[in-house]
Chains A and B, each alone.
Chain A
């Protein structure tokens, strides 16, 4: 068995070597101008287009992959920032659930976007490009078969030319040989010579026919397919980029919806600003932040009237006046007595311990047990002693804004 196998492989190897030698020989002859080549300018243009198509496609695929990697990185960076914020968020700040919900929605949007672009655009490109190497191989094969065809053609042509010469050449010695031959061999020698010549001639003719058939088959196929493929590239590009643009648009639109900037009031962050607006001294960046946001907020917020000028807070007996010290605050230690020493940034929620009926448009109605979220005065100078600005928690939950805020006497409430 091994010997047969070896024989077959050896045979095949020998045949391949022979093929290559013949082709190399042919090509040299062609280059030296001693043999003409089959040329097809039209086909060459098709091949040029094909190569261009393959280069373009490969580049697009590469760029698309790089883009998708960047999308993933952006998603990660975005999530890391969100985690940072979530970690810094202290338990008594508002809007934690809303923020977490927004973070999750955003995360989903990123994942969907990446998935969609991968599934639609990248797969289109991948599929398109996957078929190209095969065609490239077939073009190369056609080239080789073309050389084979030329080689067979020239061989046959030279045989034809030489046939007549040969016949003349062997005539005389053959005739002499014939004369010397015994009677039973008469005519056999010349017949044999002729037969020999005819045999190689016929072989060459057969070879030529076969080479031509093989070449033409490949040639015709490719001549059909290449232009069609070239035209099809437009469809590929259209598909890829149309779906990419579509998904981008969808992604961007939906991301805007998750954190709307035209509804600043509603965003948890914004309420945080109001919560922490009341600082004794205001470092410059807080001021900048407040100014910036106030300007933005002005666009959407209804303008509320400020509190009326000073009025004494209603007396309640006994008046609860406990102030819990938040750890980390040193107001007691500082020796500066300030009328507004109360820091609403430490007590952000208060609970109503007594009903309060609003006597003015800008006052907040209180019922016992109401949770009130304290916010800053728009103009701290207008704040009266003992009065705070706030919105009831139920109102906030309902409207998601602080438009229903009002002033109320602090001593009707208790810090929680």
Chain B
């Protein structure tokens, strides 16, 4: 591949490229031979199981992440609509009505509570899921790499075996093949051992993650509900005060119907007699 017309960098690049091509060819060859049963694959069924678990774990994790994000969005929507409702109430509230300051205080507190809830949800849950799911692509890449190194390993072994069982042994070639075999074996074993330790641990860690997420959601929600219910009670009382202030102007659902005068009430009638009399 050395072409004197190319510069040194290009030459190096060409060499590297050539090596890659050679590797790919080797692997393809090896895979074909494997399929034809002419070599013994390094069996590793248990690794296969690990890999399946990994996939399931990633799928489950993604789903949970998606649902967690939807939950967070729903919380924000509730906050927004709740806030708008409170704003409108404050706008229609006349300044001479009972409880106008209390109302302001309550609605501000509610807003703070929502913000706090949202923030904590984001930090404790959304971030957690984000970190959890972000580790999978890297692991899967390493699993894929292991697969490639395994093919290299098998290929080197096959080559060595072929040389060793030849009728006319070429010592130089055998030595070289042995070297390559050892190297391939080391590379493979290293990554294989790493993964065989890490994958089960990773799989087990899903429980910790789920537990964290669900327990945190539960805790945050509980705190939020407890404090919110207090504010709800306060608002209820404010409304009661307002009602007392305007008592006698009770709202009758029947409403106005000028054609049917017997159904028309005015506040004067109610206040006067204490009972409702039609006019």
- Residues of chain A touching chain B, judged by Cβ–Cβ distance below 8 Å, are 56, 59-60, 63-64, 66-67, 69-71, 73-74, 76-78, 80-81, 84-85, 87-88, 124, 127-128, 130-131, 134-135, 138, 221, 224-225, 228-229, 231-239, 241-242, 245-246, 248-249, 252-253, 255-256, 259-261, 264, 267, 269-270, 272-273, 276, 279-281, 283, 285-286, 288-290, 292-293, 296, 327-331, 333-334, 345
A349–chain B nearest beta-carbon distance, Å:
16
Q: How far is the CA of A292 from the CA of B219 in the complex (A)?
A: 11
Interface centre among B97, B207, B216 (most CB of A within 10 A): B207
When A221-B258, A276-B208, A330-B50 are in contact, do A70 and B77 touch as well, CB less than 8 Å? Answer: yes
Q: Which of A252, A280, A290, A328 contacts B50 (CB 8 A)?
A: A328
Query: Quick check: A77 and B221 within 8 Å, CB to CB?
Result: no
B262–chain A nearest beta-carbon distance, Å:
15
Q: Hey, which chain A residues are within 8 Å of B264, CB to CB?
A: 225
Q: Hey, which chain A residues are within 8 Å of B35, CB to CB?
A: none
When A66-B84, A67-B85, A245-B236 are in contact, do A127 and B253 touch as well, CB less than 8 Å? Answer: yes
Q: Hey, which chain B residues are within 8 Å of A236, CB to CB?
A: 251
The list of the 4 closest CB pairs from A to B, nearest first, reads: A235-B251, A286-B208, A249-B232, A252-B229
Query: Quick check: B215 and A293 within 8 Å, CB to CB?
Result: yes
- Please provide the chain B residues from 51 to 85 with a CB less than 8 Å away from any CB of chain A in the complex: 53, 60, 63-64, 67-68, 70-71, 73-75, 77-78, 80-82, 84-85
Return the chain B residue nearest A329 by Cβ: B200
B interface residues, how many (CB within 8 angstroms): 78
Query: Quick check: B68 and A81 within 8 Å, CB to CB?
Result: yes
Q: Hey, which chain B residues are within 8 Å of A280, CB to CB?
A: 201
Q: List 29 A-B contacts (CB under 8 A).
A: A59-B88, A70-B81, A73-B74, A76-B74, A85-B214, A127-B255, A130-B255, A131-B255, A224-B266, A228-B266, A231-B249, A239-B251, A242-B239, A249-B229, A249-B232, A249-B236, A252-B232, A253-B225, A255-B225, A269-B214, A283-B202, A283-B208, A285-B128, A285-B131, A286-B212, A293-B215, A327-B49, A330-B196, A330-B199
A291–chain B nearest beta-carbon distance, Å:
11
Query: Quick check: B82 and A232 within 8 Å, CB to CB?
Result: no
Q: Hey, which chain A residues are within 8 Å of B226, CB to CB?
A: 252, 256
Indicate if B174 sits at the interface (CB-CB under 8 A): no
Q: How far is the CA of A134 from the CA of B256 in the complex (A)?
A: 9
A-binding segment of B6-14, B21-29, B142-150, B240-248? B240-248
When A60-B89, A63-B85, A234-B249 are in contact, do A84 and B255 touch as well, CB less than 8 Å? Answer: no
Query: Quick check: A289 and B78 within 8 Å, CB to CB?
Result: no
Query: Quick check: A225 and B256 within 8 Å, CB to CB?
Result: yes
The A interface, classified by DSSP as helix, strand, loop or mixed, is helix
Q: Which of B92, B197, B211, B221 contacts A289 (CB 8 A)?
A: B211
B258–chain A nearest beta-carbon distance, Å:
6
Query: Quick check: A229 and B256 within 8 Å, CB to CB?
Result: yes
When A70-B81, A327-B49 are in contact, do A252 and B225 touch as well, CB less than 8 Å? Answer: yes
The B interface, classified by DSSP as helix, strand, loop or mixed, is helix
Indicate if B136 sits at the interface (CB-CB under 8 A): no
Q: How far is the CA of A60 from the CA of B92 in the complex (A)?
A: 9
Q: Hey, which chain B residues are within 8 Å of A77, CB to CB?
A: 67, 70-71, 73-74
Indicate if B276 sits at the interface (CB-CB under 8 A): no
Q: A264-B215, A290-B208, A296-B219 are in contact. List 5 more A-B contacts (CB 8 A).
A: A88-B64, A233-B92, A234-B97, A234-B242, A252-B232
Query: Quick check: B132 and A285 within 8 Å, CB to CB?
Result: yes
Q: Hey, which chain B residues are within 8 Å of A285, CB to CB?
A: 128, 131-132, 205, 208-209, 212
When A261-B223, A270-B215, A289-B215 are in contact, do A242 and B243 touch as well, CB less than 8 Å? Answer: yes
- Please provide the chain B residues from 153 to 195 with a CB less than 8 Å away from any CB of chain A in the complex: none
- Residues of chain B touching chain A, judged by Cβ–Cβ distance below 8 Å, are 46, 49-50, 53, 60, 63-64, 67-68, 70-71, 73-75, 77-78, 80-82, 84-85, 88-89, 91-92, 97, 128, 131-132, 196-197, 199-212, 214-219, 221-223, 225-226, 228-229, 232-233, 235-236, 239-240, 242-243, 246, 249-253, 255-256, 258, 264, 266-267
Q: Hey, which chain A residues are within 8 Å of B252, CB to CB?
A: 232
Return the chain A residue nearest B53 by Cβ: A328
Query: Quick check: A248 and B204 within 8 Å, CB to CB?
Result: no
Q: How far is the CA of A245 from the CA of B267 in the complex (A)?
A: 26
Q: How far is the CA of A78 from the CA of B128 in the complex (A)?
A: 18
Q: How far is the CA of A245 from the CA of B107 in the complex (A)?
A: 12
Q: Hey, which chain B residues are within 8 Å of A228, CB to CB?
A: 266-267
Q: Hey, which chain B residues are within 8 Å of A124, CB to CB?
A: 253
When A229-B256, A248-B228, A249-B236 are in contact, do A261 and B219 touch as well, CB less than 8 Å? Answer: yes
Q: How far is the CA of A289 from the CA of B205 in the complex (A)?
A: 11
Q: How far is the CA of A84 from the CA of B32 in the complex (A)?
A: 42
Query: Quick check: B78 and A70 within 8 Å, CB to CB?
Result: yes
When A245-B233, A273-B211 are in contact, do A328 and B200 touch as well, CB less than 8 Å? Answer: yes
When A77-B74, A285-B128, A289-B215 are in contact, do A85 and B200 touch as well, CB less than 8 Å? Answer: no
Q: How far is the CA of A64 from the CA of B82 in the complex (A)?
A: 8
A315–chain B nearest beta-carbon distance, Å:
32
Q: Hey, which chain B residues are within 8 Å of A246, CB to CB?
A: 232, 236
Query: Quick check: A238 and B232 within 8 Å, CB to CB?
Result: no
Q: How far is the CA of A259 from the CA of B242 in the complex (A)?
A: 35
B72–chain A nearest beta-carbon distance, Å:
8
A215–chain B nearest beta-carbon distance, Å:
15
Q: How far is the CA of A264 from the CA of B83 in the complex (A)?
A: 32
Query: Quick check: B211 and A279 within 8 Å, CB to CB?
Result: no
Q: How far is the CA of A67 from the CA of B232 in the complex (A)?
A: 15
